[in-house]
Structure 1
Amino acid sequence: MKSNMADKAYSCEVCGSFVQKSHLLAHMKTHTGEKPHSCEECGFSFAWKSNLMNHVKTHTGEKPHSCEVCGSSFALKSTLLSHMLTHTGEKPHSCEVCGSSFAQKSNLFSHMLTHTGEKPHSCEVCGSSFAQKSNLFSHMKTHTGDKQHTCEVCVSSFAYKSHLLSHMKTHTGDKPYSCEVCGSSFARKSNLLSHMTRHTGDKPHSCEVCGSSFAQKSTLSRHMLTHTGEKPHSCEVCGRSFALRSHLLSHITRHTGDKPHSCEVCFSSFARKSNLLHHMKTHMEDKPHSCEVCGSSFALKSNLVRHMLKHTGEKPHSCEVCGSSFALKSTLLHHMLTHTGDKPHSCEVCGSSFALKSTLVRHILTHTGDKPHSCEVCGSSFARKSNLFSHMKTHMRDKSYSCKVCSSSFAQKSNLLIHMKTHAGEKYLQ
């Protein structure tokens, strides 16, 4: 009856009035921060005993409230009532700003923060702020390193149960989410939604600094680092910092030598998955990128771009020290080592140092005697791929190097040079 009475005799000196004294006393705890009710199991404290009773059920696993439609059980009656809305489709809570509707009032409150931009929940460790308390709890795990959800198949651990469930699909191969346009299937609904932007061309996430738009929010987040210059991920070995965690993980493989991504065709291993994907195209017969000048075809567009420099003669990468120009940036980087004298790649057998890793790899073969490059015609083996290419010309009918004196032809330029000396009066024993 008091709820229908206008008189609210019990007033809070800070913010308002209440009909019942018990409500006032309970309300006052929001100002004092008092939490007298503690959980004996984990030590969590609560302002109200009812909240403690609900919390205790998370330890006992008790779920007394069951859904009559689907049989799902819940620890709290309020959770059951919220669940029932998934069957009725009812969304009684509407946003007064944009008209969006929600099944739960808490979801409406969370949604309202997207209009106000308010982020009331702050991390005490790094100061990051979040709109929702649940997001703060999730963020805290990045500091504690807590990964209590373990995969029973491969023993991988995850901070969140949702990540474990998504990971399990990699073992089962289950891809329940299908694209209605092209039929592609995905293990996660989020991956399907990201994929759909390829068909719609929708880019709803815009950068407030430069106006660039992106299909995925994660891509926008990575893009923002280009404006802030922030590199929060540091290597514990050499101290180098990276904007993205994925780049740090790729970098770590340089220290460990780990190459976890293997080609199923030739068993070559790679430190990065992107390198494996590029490598796989070398096994594919499809070479969609063709040169309009000579007709050569390539599996990768990047290879076509490099090939075109042979026709144009363009050398856009210049050395700031000596002015030499190069067609490829990688060649310029290798060239720069001739100025610095830096030889970071050392042989563990004899201690010799080399500027390029590829040179070290070739040098190692002098110790092992390994000849990995074999001729498919006669079976001859060679330590270097370039030597194999030279050898292959001996099987080819094409002898493009001709002697201008006697018209003799040779498959290799080196053989022509040796032959030319016979005209100069020199005798060579082959």
Structure 2
Amino acid sequence: MITHTGEKPFTCVKCGKGFRDKSHLKMHTITHTGEKPFTCVTCGKGFRNKGYLNIHMTIHTGEKPFTCEKCGKRFRDKRRLKFHMMTHTGEKPFICGSCGKGFRDESHLKRHTMTHTGEKPFTCVSCGKGFKDKSDLAYHMRIHTVEMPFMCVTCGKGFRHKGYFNIHMRIHTGEKPFSCETCGKSFQQKHSLASHVISHTDEKPFTCERCGKGCFIRQGLLKNHMLIHTGEKPFSCET
């Protein structure tokens, strides 16, 4: 009957939150104590409840029991499937109160809100620079530690970020995933394709501020042109 009445007779003595049954209160209490009684036998990581442990175990087993009915993509847990389904429905239930922009996930909304508030709760202990989320801080910290966790097995070059590592690997594989729809020419990087596409149009977006000449389709060409005005000669003959 408690389900119908909305009664929550079991109250947390730490924060006052109410629960319908004792088991839910017990599970909640662990958030205050930090206790993680359910341990993964493979890697030793601890979890607050058995459900989280079961989801974690799929990382080791590779099991993905939840399937998208629209595209067939599989997921480890129901939450990830639910989040994925929004890509098909276009649903964005979390709305920013400042600008009205919608998001699929509450954490994405929270991060976006910081662009309005200017809040940067994660601070670098080495230089004091602030960041909106923990992952950005972790990436920044590699500048101070010179950590390069992504290593190319072909040439040994290291990278701080997986995205840069993936771009680098295309040098070795020859992969060019970005293709021009007009002429079919392929490129390793998206920005290279964007620069190339301009060559098919009359667009010349880079203009010289000194003389007003606006016939440059790439920033590199404008940079070379600017040497005429500055008199700079950056390339010297070593002989």
Q: TM tier, shorter chain?
A: 0.5 to 0.7
Alignment match, 1:73: none
| 1:302 lines up with 2:95 in the alignment | no
Which residue is equivalent to 1:332? Answer: 137
1:421 maps onto 2:224 in alignment: yes
Contact 2:40 2:57 in 1 (8 A): yes
How far has the Cα of 1:379 moved from its partner? 6.5
Structure 1: which 5+ residue stretches go unaligned?
A: 1-192
Counterpart selection for 2:79 from 254, 257, 274: 274
Aligned partner of 2:237 in structure 1 is none
Q: Which amino acid aligns with 2:25?
A: L
Equivalent of 1:212, from 17, 39, 53? Answer: 17
Code of the residue aligned with 2:86 in structure 1: it is: K
Q: TM-score if structure 1 supplies the norm length?
A: 0.41
2:41 aligned with 1:236, yes or no? Answer: yes
Instruction: Report if aligned partners of 1:262, 1:270 keep a CA contact under 8 Å in 2.
Output: yes
Deviations 1:58-91 (A, max 9, x none): xxxxxxxxxxxxxxxxxxxxxxxxxxxxxxxxxx
- Secondary structure of the residue aligned to 2:89 is coil
- On the 8 A contact 1:342/1:355 being kept in 2, the answer is yes
Deviations 1:7-61 (A, max 9, x none): xxxxxxxxxxxxxxxxxxxxxxxxxxxxxxxxxxxxxxxxxxxxxxxxxxxxxxx
Q: Which moved more, 1:341-350 or 1:393-402?
A: 393-402
Q: Say if 2:207 and 2:222, in contact at 8 Å, map to a contact too.
A: no
CA contact (8 A) 1:235 1:252 kept: yes
Question: Are 2:64 and 1:221 aligned?
Answer: no
Alignment of 1:175-190 (within 5 A): none
SS in 1 for 2:135: helix
Q: Which has the higher contact order (CA 8 A, sep 6+)?
A: 2
Q: Equivalent residue of 2:87, what SS?
A: coil
CA distance in 2, matches of 1:393, 1:294: 33
Q: Which amino acid aligns with 1:286?
A: E
Match of 1:408 in 2: 214
Please tell me the residue identity of whatever aligns with 2:110. Answer: V
Q: CA deviation at 1:331?
A: 0.3
Say whether the 8 Å CA contact 2:207–2:213 is kept in structure 1.
Answer: yes
Q: Which of 120, 123, 126 is the equivalent residue of 1:315?
A: 120
* Aligned-pair CA distance for 1:318: 0.7
Secondary structure of the 2:31 match is helix
Offset at 1:337?
Answer: 3.1
Any conservation in 1 of the 2:207–2:215 contact (CA below 8 Å)? yes
Between structure 1 and structure 2, the one with the greater Rg is: 1
Confirm or deny: 8 A CA contact 1:207 1:224 kept in the other structure: yes
1:287 & 1:278 partners in 2: Cα distance?
10
Q: Would you say the 8 A contact 2:94–2:105 is kept in 1?
A: yes
TM-score (norm 2): 0.64
**Partner in structure 2 of residue 245 of structure 1:** 50
CA deviations 1:94-152 (Å, max 9, x no partner) are xxxxxxxxxxxxxxxxxxxxxxxxxxxxxxxxxxxxxxxxxxxxxxxxxxxxxxxxxxx
- C-alpha contact (below 8 Å) 1:409/1:416 kept by paired residues: no
How far is 1:419 from its partner? 1.5
Query: Which string of whole-angstrom CA distances, capped at 9 and with x for unpartnered residues, describes residues 274-295 of structure 1?
Result: 3343233233333454556666
* Structure 2 runs not aligned, ≥5 long: 233-239
1:284–1:299 CA contact under 8 A, matched in 2: no
Query: What amino acid is the match of 2:214?
Result: S
The 2-side partners of 1:269 and 1:391 are apart by: 36
In structure 1, how many angstroms separate the alpha carbons of the residues matched to 2:69 and 2:170? 25
Q: 1:416 to 1:367 in 2, by over 3 A?
A: closer
| Structure-to-structure mapping, 1:382-393, within 5 angstroms | 383=188, 387=191, 390=194
Identity of aligned residues (%): 39
CA 1:416–1:344 in 2, change beyond 3 Å: closer, same or farther?
closer
Q: Structure 1, residues 206-231: CA drift from partner, whole Å, max 9, x if none?
A: 22443211356554332121233322
Distance 1:392 1:282 in 2: 30
Count of aligned residue pairs for this structure pair: 227
